[in-house]
Structure 1
């Protein structure tokens, strides 16, 4: 599978653009702020129907415009498939496959997978639990349609239960029977999500450890701990035990929406006890494990998007990452960088086609 071409209109800082890609390596070179990362984000949009930078779709519309359109032509199993994604102010987002609109956008997820490695990945370490839940959810959702649908249903039930709790709080009442209707659904769906997250991590953690040790060229004791209230308490019992707290605060305090991943080095949080280099290796290890697992489960290599990472990594980590590229471990690769000479050195001796684009002030030209 690879992306053959991309057309974009009114996307972020681009009025329009038409790009034809190599099935191997494609590099966007330009100054900071020129729009390189926006091109990677457009490709990511075609995979996930959302940005990896901003969850609000309308904020990806070019300033002073009312809409954006992305069109991509993929080649998969020797067939060309057109995917279009359009967002217009005041209207529902539309995603089409060969001009036919999806009934549910979730049906598209996993069809054209991608993995992005970006400076923004540091948020996985420094930000709150929601960021880490989204990370694991985005991986499982690409390979497990039941998981995605169950999680979406869970979030809707949670939203409705919270709305009822808020209403009770404002009215200074609490009706246990009304809440229990939502509790039954929340517990049923939450148990499925919890089990699938557990099962996923059993396979994911060894892959992550393998890639960390390769990138870091070291044998650190690293691990990921799945932190969940369900590790200690049954779902129904947990909801019952926190019902008074729920009524006071006006939202649900027990469930898989509180889950977290704890990133550990020598059994200590890497956020506090890991060096900058160890944290970088940890993040790359996470993303390469994501790539490997998605590739195995979908039997297709995702697109690999590398956003400005050569400027952030030391030469040793860059070299080991490029060893994996040279071994054809990845499929199609997209890279953004500020230095064309550095790109020439990075890919020197690698027997792959490298297609370079120069990006300047929202315009793209093939080198």
Structure 2
């Protein structure tokens, strides 16, 4: 059982007018100067897996300058079966996604069909940034594994927006019919309980795996502790919403719930990001991403696609060697890796003793 991308065609996508690439090997190196389109090519692959960009929230920002709309077509093999995925952004701004020429009624139904893991320079925000980055990481992983989780999360976020909008309306003189708040709370609790229970059960397995991966990467005895932090460990969501209702009406937003969950990283007795070196931060980032790959492969029965963007610029040679040795040893994983230095990329990839395809942009 395996997943591989055979070819991809780009039309009016970012800096591409029209290009077609075929991929003949499991390990694909993409090299070229800054601005040549290396990251854009990886992002197009991400579109085939998630129906959206990894780097930009707006689809319109991915249209070639001066044009309207784009088209991405990928030909993949999934467990021996040839498939075609197409993402189109129309001139009207409407986005369409088809699998084997069948359109999806909801894009969320495609998530998890082609599992994918990305490691990019800005991902260090997962370690040093705010809680939103860590929730997004967990949600992206779980959404590829559990369609019910993804739907509960979508519904929760929609209801949360409605509740926050209603709280704002109270202060704008649109009446104080709190029965509406009762209904929204009931709906929020229903979806929030599903999200929390799924996260809690999943992270009991995932976080120890990530800690183990960190030890393997760092090659040192460092007491790293990874903890799932949620208010719902202390009280159920219905109780929390009752307790914070008066506060919520004053601040005009929902101040308790699973949208405030976080992953807490500690090194010894101190917060990881406050004392960890650059090398330790990078090691933890890769530990989380490699654990993500481990889980996806275990649950799906085949390896996800792995997209490595400019990791050479952020890592020393020893860490690069360790990372490539780790990910390239899995004969089931198709890897796309970018670098500005073609010689460095070729040298690093050929040193692992695996067949490599180099695409120079």
Structure 1 residue 91: Cα displacement: 3.3
Superposition map of 1:72-221 within 5 A: 72-171=74-173, 173-221=175-223
What does the per-residue CA deviation read over 1:171-230, in whole Å, with 9 as the maximum and x for residues that have no partner? 175332220001111111101101111111111112211221122121211122212111
Comparing 195-204 and 260-269, the one that deviates more: 260-269
Q: Secondary structure at the match of 2:85?
A: strand
Q: Which whole-Å CA distance do the structure 2 matches of 1:325 and 1:208 have between them?
A: 15
- TM score, norm. by length of structure 2: 0.96
Structure 1 residue 125: Cα displacement: 2.2
Q: CA RMSD in A?
A: 1.4
Question: Aligned residue for 2:355?
Answer: 353
* Count of residue pairs the alignment pairs up: 359
Q: Which whole-Å CA distance do the structure 2 matches of 1:39 and 1:78 have between them?
A: 24
Whether the aligned pair in 1 keeps the contact of 2:31 and 2:358 (CA below 8 Å) is yes
Question: Aligned residue for 1:311?
Answer: 313
Q: Secondary structure at the match of 2:171?
A: helix
Q: Secondary structure at the match of 1:225?
A: strand
Comparing 32-41 and 261-270, the one that deviates more: 261-270
User: Judging changes above 3 Å, is the alpha-carbon distance between structure 1 residues 159 and 89 closer, same or farther for their aligned structure 2 residues?
Assistant: farther
Question: Aligned residue for 1:235?
Answer: 237
Consecutive unaligned residues of structure 2, counting only runs of 5 or more, are none
Whether the aligned pair in 1 keeps the contact of 2:207 and 2:227 (CA below 8 Å) is no
Q: Secondary structure at the match of 1:242?
A: helix
- TM score, norm. by length of structure 1: 0.94
Q: Secondary structure at the match of 1:310?
A: helix
Structure 1 residue 25: Cα displacement: 0.6
What does the per-residue CA deviation read over 1:298-345, in whole Å, with 9 as the maximum and x for residues that have no partner? 111001111110221112211211222442265100000011221232
Consecutive unaligned residues of structure 1, counting only runs of 5 or more, are 360-367
Whether the aligned pair in 2 keeps the contact of 1:132 and 1:261 (CA below 8 Å) is yes
Whether the aligned pair in 2 keeps the contact of 1:3 and 1:23 (CA below 8 Å) is no
Q: Which whole-Å CA distance do the structure 1 matches of 2:8 and 2:183 have between them?
A: 47
User: Judging changes above 3 Å, is the alpha-carbon distance between structure 1 residues 325 and 252 closer, same or farther for their aligned structure 2 residues?
Assistant: closer
User: Judging changes above 3 Å, is the alpha-carbon distance between structure 1 residues 325 and 240 closer, same or farther for their aligned structure 2 residues?
Assistant: closer
User: Judging changes above 3 Å, is the alpha-carbon distance between structure 1 residues 90 and 126 closer, same or farther for their aligned structure 2 residues?
Assistant: farther
